[in-house]
């Protein structure tokens, strides 16, 4: 028997042990990475910022990076208005989750105790969102068609759209504290807004809103939930009208044209 015939099996055994060790290490790292990934996915903060980054990336590809990031920033400001309103009423306020081409949402574990409180939380978004749009308009220097000017226009449009009086939009949640029959005014108004947008995205959002609206109609509501004092009803209606008028006025002032910047 030659020396090469003796060394070959020995070399094979060493290579096999070496590869086995590396394979075991790789499997161990993969298992740890999977565990870490599951922890991150479950973390609400990761979900919020992950969805924010994903939405920014998708909007950036579709409309240009500057506009995409700016629009997500306006969405974030709007959602933070809800967060601040929730916290001011002593309710838990999780970070918002961003949904590309739909918007953003806050998934509550603790819900408002009355229609009046729900209206207060709903108004927080358009109030802060309107201020964010005003800031964009100021930064535009009055230049129509500029990046900040267009962001301001779409920011004001975002607030106006959310104030359409149909649940689950902010406007619908506000007017529910006044009279839920106003939702039936919001339904055809939503259809008009969707038609005016001339976009598949607008149609998708309109269908989602209408679907959620009919789901809420089918649900059983506690009459005591909507027992709002007349003075509070009048105040809520006034705030809704003023916010809608200011948002529409902001759209007219900002103008708005192209949306492609890189």
Same domain, 87 and 161: yes
Confidence tier at 27 by pLDDT (50, 70, 90): very low
In which element (H, E) is residue 98 found? strand 97-99
- Asked whether residue 77 is domain-assigned, the answer is yes
- Region of 112 (left: φ > 0; alpha: ψ -120 to 50; beta: rest) is beta
Same domain, 71 and 165: yes
Averaged confidence pLDDT in the chain: 79
- Asked whether residue 49 is domain-assigned, the answer is yes
Same domain, 154 and 124: yes
- Asked whether residue 104 is domain-assigned, the answer is yes
Total count of domains within the chain: 2
Same domain, 166 and 191: yes
Residue 8, preceding peptide bond in cis (omega within 30° of 0): no
pLDDT for 17 equals 57
Same domain, 69 and 145: yes
Mapped onto helix, strand or coil, the DSSP state of residue 103 is strand
Same domain, 136 and 13: no
Same domain, 14 and 67: no
Same domain, 215 and 238: yes
Pick the residue with more confidence: 26 or 188?
188
Percent of the chain whose predicted confidence (pLDDT) is above 90: 37
Pick the residue with more confidence: 72 or 222?
72
Same domain, 148 and 161: yes
Pick the residue with more confidence: 98 or 69?
69
pLDDT for 194 equals 83
Same domain, 73 and 21: no
- Asked whether residue 262 is domain-assigned, the answer is no
Nearest Cα residue to 174 out of 118, 216, 213: 118
Beta-carbon contacts of residue 208 (< 8 Å; ≥ 6 apart): 102
Mapped onto helix, strand or coil, the DSSP state of residue 159 is helix
Pick the residue with more confidence: 194 or 70?
70
Mapped onto helix, strand or coil, the DSSP state of residue 258 is coil
- Whole-model pTM: value is 0.75
Confidence tier at 55 by pLDDT (50, 70, 90): confident
| Structural domain span for residue 13 | 1-42
Per-residue pLDDT of 118-172, as tens digits, reads 999 999 999 999 999 999 999 988 666 788 999 999 999 999 999 999 988 999 9
Q: What is the DSSP string of 124-179?
A: HHHHHHHHHHHHHHHHHTT-TTSHHHHHHHHHHHHHHHHTSSSTTSHHHHHHTTT-
Pick the residue with more confidence: 20 or 228?
228
- Asked whether residue 113 is domain-assigned, the answer is yes
Same domain, 97 and 223: yes
- Asked whether residue 179 is domain-assigned, the answer is yes
Pick the residue with more confidence: 92 or 220?
92
- Asked whether residue 4 is domain-assigned, the answer is yes
């Amino acid at each position: 028997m030659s020396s090469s015939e003796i060394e070959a099996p020995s070399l094979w055994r060493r290579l096999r042990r070496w590869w086995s060790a590396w394979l075991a290490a790789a499997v161990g790292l993969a298992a740890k990475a999977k565990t870490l990934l599951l922890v991150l996915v479950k973390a609400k903060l990761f979900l919020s910022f992950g969805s924010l980054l994903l939405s920014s990336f998708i909007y950036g590809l579709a409309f240009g990076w500057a506009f995409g990031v700016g629009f997500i920033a306006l969405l974030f400001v709007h959602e933070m208005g809800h967060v601040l309103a929730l916290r001011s009423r002593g309710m838990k306020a999780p970070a918002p989750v961003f949904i590309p081409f739909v918007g953003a949402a806050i998934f509550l574990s603790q819900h408002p105790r009355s229609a009046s409180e729900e209206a207060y939380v709903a108004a927080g978004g358009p109030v802060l969102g309107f201020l964010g749009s005003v800031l964009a308009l100021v930064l535009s220097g009055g230049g129509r068609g500029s990046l900040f000017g267009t962001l301001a226009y779409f920011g004001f449009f975002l607030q106006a759209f959310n104030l359409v009086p149909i649940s689950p939009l902010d406007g619908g949640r506000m007017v529910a504290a006044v009279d839920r029959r106003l939702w039936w005014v919001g339904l055809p108004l939503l259809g008009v807004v969707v038609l005016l947008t001339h976009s598949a995205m607008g149609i998708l959002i309109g269908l989602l809103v209408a679907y959620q609206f009919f789901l809420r109609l089918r649900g059983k509501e506690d009459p005591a939930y909507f027992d709002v004092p007349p003075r509070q009803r009048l105040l809520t209606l006034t705030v809704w009208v003023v916010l809608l008028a200011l948002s529409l006025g902001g759209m007219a002032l900002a103008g708005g044209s192209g949306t492609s910047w890189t």
